[in-house]
Structure 1
């Protein structure tokens, strides 16, 4: 997916910041990628974004319009810089008469410019969203190189410290493209949507008297790179029956004053049926109707085994940007010096217990506990370890009670003599911030009602919401979309589907070549999209279809206007 950056090796060999990053530990950067990153960072020491262009002599002593891609090419071909470190780049270009100013000024400028570049690189390393905006897929591993091998996870640290997901697909979003790119052709969509009234219900619950019900809980977890991980399910229907399926955010009792932002997160459930080709299950339906926070579907399904894949658009479940100024206390010592959990932390652990108690029976089984362990430590608890757990903590019917779950974490605190580091790793992995607010996860509950038989539902995986889900979303849009062909390029089609409460667009590339599509949402009003950017670009692999973006109203009580221009980049 990534376009090829410059190839000058000398420009990128002296940066210690890159050598120890999570990305390079798993799959070392190529010389081209290091070159590209350092040049981008040098560019960003002057400009806020790679969208900004150099347009004046004060910015660059060349006297003409200049954009970041031209800048990279310019650096690549200027052999005079082959043996100088990246910080020299802007200094030498912007001040071609620098040698006449004096050696002392040179040294001062060199020190300052090197510090600027170091600061920029550190900021990019720390902020994954900013890094994706400025570098796009250049730092994500190209399809030709393949995905990075996943390292063996360390207990309690896999999700928040060491692991990044690098895509090997040909459909990840590109960096922000310069607005000066040349476009071959464009298509646009404009939709004016009325405010969503919470009193109007498009989802009608049937008369469920005498229907049999199955229920399971689950959770969406937001990864560092913005990817969403969730539980996935298998459903068994014994005989042909009318079904009523719903999914909604799970309400958790909160301490007074605590925020519950996950209750506004959109949820959906895609139902796929196994067929002759296990790799290509058939999309049967999805929960597109809505009543307040509940999304549902009613219809008839024949007997068989179905896959249930939860989904959220990502418009509302996003990385938290508001800094937390005060860290909650997790443990304290009483008058006798004994360690105990604070009431606020016990309340949070009780919430986590509710989330991981997937069947809702008030107890944690080994299977349920292992989904929790996979999330927080990356490892499973075997039967022998579980037997020790049952002997050490309060259990009932060979399952862990709520009190036993509390005592387990108290033991963990005692093992660290009150140091809460491991406890915080668990909390962050489960989506909590330093104020013990659940901001980067969304627990949900699935209900299945069947008229003629007892439905069964079982959690089978907890993994990234991609792959089959991407295909299911594309299929659902293709079946009912407003399609527009790029003028003069009949093999490039943009499909947009309005689901009343959200809009999804996909891009279909029927050609034998990859294409780059530039997306501009700047004229949209009261809208938020899952990309988090008004302007971005995506690369679509040959003969493939990909989800471009999901869009929802920022404020559901007000009218929202979706206005988007899709342009084929030359």
Structure 2
């Protein structure tokens, strides 16, 4: 009752206090809705003022987060109804009217995320005690601080959204209300404000007491708060760092280079070096690290790539990104792999905890980004592509147009063709992970493992040093060419092994890169230098699947399959990708029929509009990923899942 009286006074409508917000105080057990016309005009909140102090901003976002995780399991959960929106707003000390709820939750609203919630709180301020008293004073014609019960009862049961007599009686049953039929509105307003504060404090205490909730560190959508638990001062530093974003096509250059600027009109191009510096609110230097990699299509159609380990010496504001990159051969038309979607999942590399920390969910042109704060420690960075736009190609008529790899020159000696040299140069760039223009033994071994499954031994590497061009015990581009020419020469011009290399790296027999996507990972850290290197994880696919499933269940919405109590469909709807997961909690396998025919301008990772998926008992399984065919056009996801009869 106390909590909801502000909505009564300020707009006139019915709301209900959620039980989760009740502090031990027994006053809130009687909280019920009231309705009175709105008298006080809305004022600009402190967050709308350009001179707002940073500590107030920080307190605001902490209160937002506390209220949200009191209502939901994490800040990635979504508000799925108007009733849930009302509930979480009340936990944040607001008391929305029906008109207020209708303003934010329109007929076209299906859900809201944490950022949407924060945006509402910025504009819906808390009612102050003096303002509430001023409203009651308009009803206090005698000016003695009291209003007759009959006058209040008449107002609440006849004006606006009427209340029941029982609800009105509940107000007057409070111990702090006089028993002589007079309503002490000043005392009532004091109780109301103290109850709001008590509910907020209960939410904050719950957040502080729950270590798991405190350490959740998920990013948010582009343009919203980078991280709910991050201070505005840190968020400002992240925005400043965007101006020092490096150009992915020039990572091999160690001299000064220009950054590729974000699409935001506020960003500008600036010169950076390998240690990108920018002026932030804390005057700390921004450090930059990057590594390259490549998504490769396996024979079974799955997508593989290297994984990476990030080490942060100390807790820092971080910007992570992944994006496709072009190779040295330039054409007027962007290569097809530049349209392949990418993502980066961040898992804790702790020996006791490999939980999902965050994943890229914002996009700037081809770059997929996460901004936030990460604690000191080690993390696995797991690259991901949905498979919607990177698929196996048919090989019909390809072999009839095969390009030669080797030929005999005028001296009668074998040599590499110009076309093959260009491809080898591109492959060199793909496996030159640190972009220093040289191949280390570790980098070369990643290639050998992909081709033959065996590593190059140190003895063999020493032989390479004696026979091929090397620098600092690393293979140069020329040395890489010499190595492949020697292989062709030893086989007397037989190109089978060379074709194995070419096709493993995603090229067809016309030397077109059609089944691979070169990418680059970038890390910007404030105040500490990150360490980033490629690793070969035997558990990599399992970890990636775990991260993907976790992201869908945490950030997605769940619905029960029609007619099934123990089968649920989780759907993550991002700005640029929809991913769905089926959770079969029953004790027998189920077969789900999936129909994408109602989607528009969409392509599925399954490659089919209609398909069936079998999910074993007590198992979760990713169903599909869906992307827009053309990002320039509207796209609609309206998938229908039904249970196929068990045979």
Q: How high is the TM-score relative to the length of structure 2? A: 0.55
Task: Using the TM superposition, give the Cα deviation of residue 523 of structure 1 relative to its aligned residue in structure 2, in angstroms.
Answer: 2.2
Q: Is the 1:230–1:464 Cα contact (8 Å) retained in structure 2?
A: no
* The one of 206, 211, 224 aligned to 2:239: 206
In 1, Cα distance between equivalents of 2:523 and 2:327 = 21
Cα 1:403–1:258 shift into 2, 3 Å: farther
Structure 2 match to 1:309: 382
Which of 382, 388, 410 lines up with 2:485 in the alignment?
410
Aligned counterparts of 1:250 and 1:312: Cα–Cα separation in 2: 14
Task: Call closer, same or farther: CA 1:214–1:447 in 2, change over 3 Å.
Answer: same
1:364 is paired with a residue whose SS is coil
- Does the 8 Å contact 2:308/2:381 carry over to 1? yes
1:558, distance to aligned residue in structure 2 (A): 1.6
Native 8 Å contact 1:514 1:542 kept in 2: yes
Task: Rate the CA distance shift 1:322–1:255 in 2: closer, same or farther, 3 A.
Answer: farther
Q: Residue deviations 1:70-94, cap 9 Å, x none? A: xxxxxxxxxxxxxxxxxxxxxxxxx
1: CA distance between counterparts of 2:456 and 2:593? Answer: 47
- TM-aligned CA deviation for residue 274 of structure 1: 3.1
Cα 1:337/1:378, change in 2 over 3 Å? same
Equivalent position of 2:607 in the other structure: 532
Distance 1:289 1:512 in 2: 38
Q: 2:577 aligned with 1:502, yes or no?
A: yes
The corresponding residue for 2:587 is 512
| CA shift for structure 1 position 419 | 1.9
Spell out the pairing of 1:47-86 with structure 2 (5 A cutoff).
none
Shift, 1:462, TM fit = 6.3
Contact 1:480 1:497 in 2 (8 A): yes
Equivalent-residue separation in structure 2 for 1:216 and 1:315 (angstroms): 24
Matched, 1:247 2:280: no
**Deviant stretches of 4+, over 6 Å:** 462-465
Tell me, yes or no, if structure 1 residue 362 matches structure 2 residue 395.
Answer: no
CA contact (8 A) 1:317 1:441 kept: yes
**Deviation of the 1:475 alpha carbon:** 1.3
Match of 1:294 among 358, 361, 367: 367
Structure 2 segments unaligned to the other structure (5+ residues) = 1-108, 111-220, 227-237, 242-277, 279-284
Q: Structure 2 residue aligned with 1:461, among 536, 543, 547? A: 536
The answer to whether the 8 A contact 2:322-2:343 is kept is yes
Q: Which residue of 2 aligns with 1:438?
A: 513
CA displacement at 1:212 relative to structure 2: 0.6
Distance 1:277 1:428 in 2: 39
Cα distance in 1 for partners of 2:508, 2:607 equals 20
Give the corresponding residue for 1:106: none
Q: Distance in 2 between matches of 1:416 and 1:436?
A: 21
Q: Conserved in 1, the CA contact under 8 Å of 2:343 and 2:359? A: yes
- 1:431 alignment partner, SS class: coil
Distance in 1 (alpha carbons) for counterparts of 2:630 and 2:289: 34
Whole-Å separation in 2 of the counterparts to 1:321 and 1:290: 31
CA distance in 1, matches of 2:372, 2:331: 40
Give matches, 1:250-265, under 5 Å.
Answer: 250-254=325-329, 256=331, 260-265=335-340
> Which of 527, 530, 545 lines up with 1:470 in the alignment?
545
Asked whether the 8 Å contact 2:562–2:642 carries over to 1, the reply is: no
- Say whether the 8 Å CA contact 1:218–1:230 is kept in structure 2: yes
The 1:342/1:490 distance shift into structure 2, 3 A limit, reads same
For 2:373 and 2:347, locate their aligned partners in 1 and report how far apart those are by CA, in whole Å.
14
2:356 is aligned with 1:283: yes
Runs (5+) with no aligned partner, structure 1: 1-189, 192-199
Q: CA deviation at 1:328?
A: 1.4
Report the Cα distance in structure 2 between the residues aligned to 1:538 and 1:219, rounded to whole angstroms. 29
Partner of 1:563: 638
Q: Counterparts of 1:374 and 1:425 in 2: how far apart (Å)?
A: 13
Cα separation, partners in 2 of 1:465 and 1:260, compared to 1, 3 Å = farther
Aligned mates of 2:515, 2:554 — CA distance in 1: 32
User: Are the equivalent residues in 2 in contact too, given 1:272–1:282 (CA < 8 A)?
Assistant: yes
Q: Which residue of 2 aligns with 1:373?
A: 448
SS in 1 for 2:410: coil
Q: Which stretch has the larger CA shift, 547-556 or 249-258? A: 249-258
Q: What secondary structure does 2:572 align onto?
A: strand
- SS of equivalent residue, structure 2 residue 424: helix
Equivalent position of 2:136 in the other structure: none
- Which aligned pairs between 1:175-254 and structure 2 lie closer than 5 A? 206-208=239-241, 209=278, 210-254=285-329
CA gap of 1:464–1:341, structure 2 versus 1, over 3 A, is farther
Q: Is the 8 A contact 1:258 1:437 kept in 2?
A: no
* Residue pair 1:432, 1:439 contacting (<8 A) in 2 also: yes
Match of 2:619 in 1: 544
Relative to structure 1, is the Cα distance of residues 440 and 274 closer, same or farther in structure 2, using a 3 angstrom cutoff?
A: same
TM-score, with structure 1 as normaliser = 0.62
Is 2:562 the partner of 1:487?
yes
Contact 2:310 2:381 in 1 (8 A): yes
| Rounded Cα–Cα distance in structure 1 between residues aligned with 2:329 and 2:351 | 47
Cα distance change on mapping 1:465 and 1:250 into 2, 3 Å: farther
Task: Give the 3-state SS of the residue equivalent to 2:500 in structure 1.
Answer: helix
Cα deviation for residue 201 of structure 1 reads 7.2
Residues 440-489 of structure 1: per-residue CA shift (max 9 Å, x gap):
11111111111021100121116696311112112111122222102331
1:475 partner SS: helix
Q: Is the 8 A contact 1:215 1:448 kept in 2?
A: yes
Residues 109-165 of structure 1, C-alpha deviations (whole Å, 9 max, x = no match): xxxxxxxxxxxxxxxxxxxxxxxxxxxxxxxxxxxxxxxxxxxxxxxxxxxxxxxxx
2:403 aligned counterpart, secondary structure: coil
Deviations 1:255-307 (A, max 9, x none): 658972111111111001134635xx111101111011000111001101111
The equivalent of 1:389 in structure 2 is 464
Q: Is the contact made by 2:361 and 2:575 (CA closer than 8 Å) also made in structure 1?
A: no
Contact conserved, 1:362 with 1:402, CA < 8 A, in 2? yes
Q: Which has the higher contact order (CA 8 A, sep 6+)?
A: 1
User: Compared with structure 1, are the counterparts of its residues 423 and 353 closer, same or farther at alpha carbon in structure 2 (3 Å cutoff)?
Assistant: same
Give the distance between the partners of 2:383 and 2:489, measured in 1 at CA: 38
More strand by share: 1
Q: Partner of 1:519: helix, strand, or coil?
A: strand
Alignment partners' CA distance in 2, 1:491 and 1:277:
31
Which has the greater radius of gyration?
2
**Quick one: distance in 2 between partners of 1:332 and 1:271?**
47
1:214 alignment partner, SS class: strand
Distance 2:580 2:587 in 1: 21
- 3-state SS of the aligned residue for 2:306? strand
Give the total of aligned pairs.
372
